[in-house]
């Protein structure tokens, strides 16, 4: 692990517990790793405004948001892959016909239709800022991801219809039991992480990543140190090289602790030699 210079982790059902809580020790490990030259990246299907609220002290972190549609680093948006309004308006119409709640996701806000205001509290768990509009099929705001929210958790069953309609021209992924996300073709956490690595001079062999489901596949395939948590969805074991404990048992933190220990040995050796101890 001595060569690791970047650690990227998914949030929901990976770093966060099944109750959606962030382990307190994560910030401690991330800060210590930063002093050792290891950069921490939050790679999530959640939007930028949500991650900024969750990690207010984010100067030493980068965010891969909306499954890779937005890359935020050094305190600013480095890249955003936007979807044309006319296109996402049609997507919203399709999602409603499929029995889903359409959510238009942009760098500064998420948007829902006034007809879906009853779902606002449930959606607030994923979006820090939600604006209610009179007709989402007339919205023209900047958007980088369009999400279908299934209140009863039917995302996997609905996926084939979404893929048949959009997969030729867009990236379509399941992002949890209640979510199907659509982004521009080529958008993924993996492509965003590769872009960030190129900007920082960090290779895939120097990266570690954690995930649990479909929208983490490209990221896990990119890095040399790829981990899934024990509660990962079926089939993800074919993607990652390693497995750690579940999100409720602190699987990500267990590996981060190993990395911290490894880095401590590397950093203390020169001091020990110099002092003769």
Can you give the pTM of this predicted structure? 0.85
Q: Which residues contact 122 (CB under 8 A, 6 or more apart)?
A: 149, 151
Q: Please determine, for residue 272, whether its predicted confidence score (pLDDT) is greater than 80.
A: no
Q: Please determine, for residue 72, whether its predicted confidence score (pLDDT) is greater than 50.
A: yes
* CATH T-level fold of 85-184: 3.30.1240
The pLDDT assigned to 60 comes to 81
The model's confidence at residue 56, banded by pLDDT at 50, 70 and 90, is: confident
Question: Of the given ranges (148-152, 207-211, 218-222, 260-264), which has the lowest mean pLDDT?
Answer: 260-264
d(CA 44, CA 60): 17
The pLDDT assigned to 235 comes to 93
Q: Please determine, for residue 135, whether its predicted confidence score (pLDDT) is greater than 90.
A: yes
> Closest by alpha carbon to 5, among 237, 272, 201, 216?
201
pLDDT tens, position by position, 81-93: 999 999 999 999 9
The pLDDT assigned to 37 comes to 94
The mean pLDDT of 7-18, rounded to a whole number, is 97
CA torsion sign for 141, 188, 231, 262 is: negative
Percent of the chain with pLDDT over 90: 84
The pLDDT assigned to 90 comes to 97
Q: Please determine, for residue 277, whether its predicted confidence score (pLDDT) is greater than 90.
A: no
Structural domain boundaries in the chain: 6-80+187-275, 85-184
The mean pLDDT of 39-65, rounded to a whole number, is 90
Torsion angles phi and psi, residue 142, rounded to 5: -65, 135
Architecture of domain 6-80+187-275 in this structure: 3-Layer(aba) Sandwich (3.40)
d(CA 205, CA 182): 29
Q: Please determine, for residue 256, whether its predicted confidence score (pLDDT) is greater than 60.
A: yes
Q: Please determine, for residue 266, whether its predicted confidence score (pLDDT) is greater than 80.
A: no
More confident residue, 93 or 107: 93
The model's confidence at residue 268, banded by pLDDT at 50, 70 and 90, is: low
The pLDDT assigned to 59 comes to 73
The pLDDT assigned to 175 comes to 84
Contact 110, 123 (CB under 8 A): yes
133 strand-pairing partners: 113
């Amino acid at each position: 692990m001595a060569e690791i210079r970047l650690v990227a982790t998914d949030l929901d059902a990976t770093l966060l517990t099944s109750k959606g809580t962030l382990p307190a020790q994560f910030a401690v490990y991330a800060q210590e790793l930063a002093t050792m030259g290891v950069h921490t990246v939050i790679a999530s299907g959640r939007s930028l405004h949500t991650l900024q609220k969750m990690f207010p002290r984010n100067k030493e972190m980068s965010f891969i948001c909306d499954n890779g549609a937005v890359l935020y680093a050094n305190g600013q948006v480095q890249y955003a892959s936007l979807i044309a309004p006319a296109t996402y308006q049609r997507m919203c119409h399709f999602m409603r016909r499929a029995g889903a709640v359409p959510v238009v996701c942009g760098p500064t806000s998420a948007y829902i239709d006034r007809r879906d205001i009853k779902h606002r509290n449930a959606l607030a768990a994923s979006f820090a800022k939600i604006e209610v509009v009179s007709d989402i099929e007339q919205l023209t705001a900047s958007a980088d991801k369009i999400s279908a929210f299934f209140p009863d958790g039917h995302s996997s069953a609905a996926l084939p219809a979404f893929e048949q309609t959009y997969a030729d021209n867009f990236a379509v992924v399941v992002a949890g039991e209640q979510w199907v996300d659509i982004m521009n073709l080529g958008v993924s956490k993996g492509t965003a992480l590769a872009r960030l690595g190129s900007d920082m001079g960090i290779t895939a062999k120097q990266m570690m990543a954690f995930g649990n489901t479909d929208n983490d596949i490209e990221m896990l395939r990119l890095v040399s140190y790829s981990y899934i948590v024990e509660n990962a969805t079926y089939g993800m074991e074919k993607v990652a090289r390693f497995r750690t404990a579940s999100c409720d048992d602190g699987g990500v933190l267990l590996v981060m602790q190993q990395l911290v220990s490894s880095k401590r040995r590397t950093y203390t050796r020169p001091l020990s030699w110099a002092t003769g101890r």
